[in-house]
Structure 1
Amino acid sequence: MNTAISAPPERSTPRRAAGVPGRWRNLSTLVGVTVVESGEGSLTTTLFPAIAKTLGLGNTELGLLSTLGRLIGVPFGPFWVWYANRTSRRQAIFVSTLLSGALAAASGFADNFLILLLLQTLQAGAVIGLTPITNAVIADSFDDKARGRAVGMLYGISAILSSVIGPIIGLLSIWESGWRWGFWGVGALLVLTGFLVLVLFREPQVGAADYGAAVQRVEYVRPRFADSVKLMRVPTFSIMMASRLLSGHLLIGVFGVQFLVTERGFDNAVAALVALPFGIGYFLGTVGGGFVVSAIDRRAGGNGRVVFLQAAQVLFAVVAFFATQFDVGAIGFYIALWGLMGLAQGLNPGVNRPILMSVMAPELRAQGFVIYLTIFEVIGWAAFTFVAGVLADAFGLQAVFFWILVVLMLVNAGVLGLLYRFYPRDRARVDALIAARVQEESR
């Protein structure tokens, strides 16, 4: 099968909708896995003040934990996608979730920072493959018009459920060893979730939603490494990679609770209350944003997605300025603004994922999301968290938040403006490629 993408036609061929069997059950299963795994991920940041008290740690150690937890994705992200290609995505999700649960449970026994760092880094490497595999499954299960809603539901429902878990996790800080019980509990849930994947998940064929009834006839050729590298030649893909490096809003999930404890004087349990409004806002942003993107597609075409994505960056920067640069003693002030930051951040997945899905050939989407989420996001996140941790100890988190959450996000919005020139053409090329494959196999 030829994976080359031909020159764009005058107008993009509309993607054909296809009802892929089991797609809603798969989406529900992936939501469950994502909730449990995000709960483990937020456990360290939410309970870090309690962990820090037990093990004698500071902001630098928190930055190091987050940095290595992301850097491990560079080798492990491609590994899990390779493993899924050699076996099945169902098996890859099961094995990674099971391994992640074992390592999370072991983290509860850590008696010094080095052991905790090692176990949490390996745990992050075990779980990192879920995100690119999940996004590829959604692309194969839902047609282009429905992907924004599907992605919004995945991340939105996961966020709202995780936000309920956040304050509960925060209550564990009341007990000296509460954070240990948190790791043990989440580890057990991860193991249970892995076995539920074996029972409930049914793997869709690659390109099922794009090719429709012709999917059985379109030849599937396993992608090569060289094919993945060629994605960088797609202008839209490269711009989105650069934008990922500038996505400073991800920092709020790492240092948000720590900021409220160390800079604003709230205790750990009270500061953790912002997780619920943030999750509610994120839910409204992802689910609502997915439906808004679908409406924009009908009225404004491809560039409507670009306008929406730019607006999300600007909105986050404005809200973050008021949320982090003014010292107000009432936790209610921060609860409200954390909710608005969650809303602004939640607008992103329902539009940036469909943008990427629409400019990659079906067989390259998992590889593309590995590059996007486990390499470029990792580089940006690692740089932000490590540098922020060091600078926060020297200058304070408020100053760090101003430059990364406010200024850098405005720069990001400007960079995304380049998509106006390239995105419609790149999307049309993939539409033409899919239409040509279906026509060729239908002869």
Structure 2
Amino acid sequence: MSSSPPRRWLQLTLLGGTLTTETSEGSVISMLFPAIQASLALPLSALGALQAAPKLLSAATGPLWAQLAARTNRKAVLVSCAALGGAWCVATGFAQSYLQILLLFTFSALFFSGTQPIVTALLADLFDDKSRGRATGYLYGLIALMIAVLGPVMGQLSQVPGGWRYGFFASGGVCLVSGCLIAVFFKDPGVGASESELAAFSRTEREEHSKLTWRAIIALCEVRTFALVVVQSLFCGQFLLLGVAIVYLVEVDGFDNATASLVALPGGIGGMIGTFCGGLLADRARRISPRAGYVAFFQVVGALCAVASVLCTQVDWGSIVVFCACFFFYGLVYGAWPVATQLIVIDVTLPELRGTANAIRIAVQLGAVAALSLLLTHLGERVGLKEAALLLVVGLVLVEVALTTALYWTYPRDRDAVHAELRRRAAEIETEETEAQERLDRAALGTSPIQ
């Protein structure tokens, strides 16, 4: 069995801080866009650009950060991303025009794009496959909790002149602090630290046999489960609702910005419960069926997310209280979604490839969300946000659910292939250790061969 790294839950909490601040920066736009829109007299399509531009840049740079981290020092790269991203987030709060907001906000994404793939790889090395579900749920639960707390606060800033600026100041400041805490207190456990097959070997031995190569990256694209998950990322309608929820309630249902932002609290609480419980349920599903549990959990969550999307966008409840209940349900199922996705990708990729694999998946997803965000806002101006949401939110989630069916066939085979490779590496390390010991024994006896 693998030995657990010391204080791994505290380590995970530190990592969660970087993802929380990255997410909170995006929530400034989604929560306060109506205030920014009124302040600068912007059209609805400006929201699409503010959401799309950072995602497109992140899609291009995320895999590069993952590569740099894997080939150099993961902790140093993560700290740099958090600190520099936070600094540019603070700078965004000083913007005086729409163009300045767009440029500064987009530039901060250049650095924030490196945090999630690096954190995912570190999480997989802190926790073995029996506890990764719980750990992933805990990580994303922290993010949901922060959004639940910050969402209504940011919404109320819309009532303060220039209040949206303080949202950027606070988000960037927290990110800078998070980077400093990781620099001081976090300890990288090393690649493959949690794998039972490699537990008996030192970090140096593990990493010597886990070097990242271009051949391995190319081979990653041949992993069928990973390829299917990447294809699914093109149909990520669930992410669109998060970006336009407040604007949707203002434009379609007639609430003011401050009232509409109230759904962020129950939505965030639902997301927090969903991620925490989703991690526990994912671990339970794996225990019941190691070869299909994660996939079944993934598909059930997706189907429930489609139902929740309908309730949030296609029914005019007339009461913010009812909408709060709907967004709480949406948060529950949406919160469990990244848990299942991360666990499946981790299970079918080798330790040294997990950061890169997650970066590629996120890059495709961000590119899709960017394009779909632009399409949603432009379509919303032409035919209405309600009709656009039915097509691009509910419809695309249903496509994802249908595609998940193929994973029942690919996932078990790809998972078995990973464990077979880890056993091969363990045998190779043992052979090298035995040969080295034999050379030492011969040298000690004075019988080593003459060079």
What TM-score does the superposition give when structure 2 sets the normalisation length?
Answer: 0.92
Q: Is the 1:50–1:176 contact (alpha carbons within 8 Å) kept by the matching residues of 2?
A: no
2:267 matched to 1:278?
yes
Partner of residue 365 from structure 1, selected from 314, 332, 354: 354
Amino acid at match of 2:17: G
Equivalent residue number for residue 431 of structure 1: 419
2:382 matched to 1:394?
yes
Q: Is the 1:18–1:142 contact (alpha carbons within 8 Å) kept by the matching residues of 2?
A: no
Partner of residue 409 from structure 2, selected from 409, 421, 425: 421
Unpaired segments ≥5 residues, structure 1: 1-15
Distance 2:178 2:280 in 1: 29
Distance 2:423 2:29 in 1: 47
Partner of residue 145 from structure 1, selected from 118, 130, 150: 130
Deviation at 1:112, TM superposition (A): 1.4
Report Cα offsets for 1:175-198 as digits up to 9, x if no partner.
Answer: 121011221222222222221111
Unpaired segments ≥5 residues, structure 2: 432-451
Amino acid at match of 1:147: R
Equivalent residue number for residue 291 of structure 1: 280
Distance 1:120 1:229 in 2: 32
Q: Helix, strand or coil: the match of 2:278?
A: helix
Q: Is the 1:108–1:184 contact (alpha carbons within 8 Å) kept by the matching residues of 2?
A: yes
Equivalent residue number for residue 3 of structure 1: none
Distance 1:338 1:92 in 2: 36
Partner of residue 202 from structure 1, selected from 187, 196, 199: 187
2:311 matched to 1:326?
no
> Residues 168-179 of structure 1 correspond to what in structure 2 (within 5 A)?
168-179=153-164
> Residues 211-222 of structure 1 correspond to what in structure 2 (within 5 A)?
211-216=198-203, 217-218=205-206, 219-222=208-211
> Residues 104-253 of structure 1 correspond to what in structure 2 (within 5 A)?
104-210=89-195, 211-216=198-203, 217-218=205-206, 219-253=208-242
Equivalent residue number for residue 446 of structure 2: none
Residues 200, 272 of structure 1: alpha-carbon distance in 2 compared, 3 angstrom cutoff: same
* Structure 1 vs Structure 2 CA RMSD: 1.4
Partner of residue 442 from structure 1, selected from 430, 440, 443: 430
Amino acid at match of 2:213: R
Q: Helix, strand or coil: the match of 1:94?
A: helix
- Per chain length, whose mean CA-contact separation is higher, i.e. which structure has more relative contact order (CA < 8 Å, sep 6+)? 1
- Structure of larger gyration radius: 2
Distance 1:53 1:21 in 2: 50
Equivalent residue number for residue 393 of structure 2: 405
Report Cα offsets for 1:124-157 as digits up to 9, x if no partner.
Answer: 1111100000000011111111111111100012
Q: Is the 1:18–1:143 contact (alpha carbons within 8 Å) kept by the matching residues of 2?
A: no
Partner of residue 341 from structure 1, selected from 330, 342, 346: 330
Report Cα offsets for 1:207-262 as digits up to 9, x if no partner.
Answer: 01012122433324531234212211111011111111112100111101100011
Distance 1:204 1:389 in 2: 44
> Residues 66-105 of structure 1 correspond to what in structure 2 (within 5 A)?
66-105=51-90
Q: Is the 1:325–1:402 contact (alpha carbons within 8 Å) kept by the matching residues of 2?
A: yes
Q: Helix, strand or coil: the match of 1:144?
A: coil
Deviation at 1:25, TM superposition (A): 2.1
Q: Is the 2:59–2:113 contact (alpha carbons within 8 Å) kept by the matching residues of 1?
A: no
Distance 2:364 2:66 in 1: 16
Distance 1:39 1:149 in 2: 23
Deviation at 1:431, TM superposition (A): 0.8
May I ask how many residue pairs the two structures share in their alignment?
427
Deviation at 1:28, TM superposition (A): 1.0
Q: Is the 1:22–1:202 contact (alpha carbons within 8 Å) kept by the matching residues of 2?
A: no
Residues 119, 194 of structure 1: alpha-carbon distance in 2 compared, 3 angstrom cutoff: same
Report Cα offsets for 1:90-123 as digits up to 9, x if no partner.
Answer: 1112111111122111111212111111001111
Equivalent residue number for residue 442 of structure 2: none
Deviation at 1:58, TM superposition (A): 2.3
Q: Is the 1:50–1:179 contact (alpha carbons within 8 Å) kept by the matching residues of 2?
A: yes
Equivalent residue number for residue 37 of structure 1: 22
How many percent identity over aligned positions? 36
What TM-score does the superposition give when structure 1 sets the normalisation length?
Answer: 0.93
Q: Helix, strand or coil: the match of 2:131?
A: helix
Deviation at 1:86, TM superposition (A): 4.1
Distance 1:246 1:416 in 2: 12
Q: Helix, strand or coil: the match of 2:130?
A: helix
Deviation at 1:274, TM superposition (A): 0.8
> Residues 373-384 of structure 1 correspond to what in structure 2 (within 5 A)?
373=362, 375-384=363-372
Deviation at 1:158, TM superposition (A): 1.6
Distance 1:189 1:306 in 2: 36
